[in-house]
Amino acid sequence: MTSADGRPSDQLVRFSVLADTTERLDRFLADQLQLSRTQAARIVADKAVRVAGSVARASRTLKRGEEVEVRLPTVEPLRHLVPADIPLTIVYEDEHLLVIDKPAGLVVHPAPGHWDDTLINALVARGTDLAEGGGEGRPGLVHRLDRDTSGLMVVAKNDLSHRRLAHAIAARRVKRIYAALAWGHLDGSPLIIDAAIARHPQDRKRMYVSDHGRPSRTDASVAARFDVCELLRLELHSGRTHQIRVHLEHIGHPVVGDPVYAGGGSRRITGPQRSQADRIERATPRQALHAAQLSFRHPVTSAALSFRAEWPEDLGNALVVAAGSERVAPASALSYLQFFNEDG
Q: Which residues are catalytic?
A: 146
CA-wise closest residue to 152 among 32, 310, 41? 310
Compute CA 103 distance to the chain's CA centroid, rounded to the nearest angstrom. 14
Q: Cα(252)–Cα(185) distance, rounded to whole angstroms?
A: 9
Single out the residue of 220, 179, 185, 222 nearest to residue 315, CA to CA.
179
DSSP label at 173?
-
- Distant-in-sequence, close-in-space partners of 214: CB < 8 Å, separation ≥ 6: 23, 27, 31, 196, 197, 198, 238, 240
What residues contact residue 126 under an 8 Å CB cut-off, 6+ apart? 88
Q: What are the φ and ψ backbone dihedral angles of 141, each rounded to 5 degrees? A: -75, 130
- Residue 283's closest CA among 303, 309, 265, 297? 265
Residue 5 φ/ψ, nearest 5 degrees = -90, 10
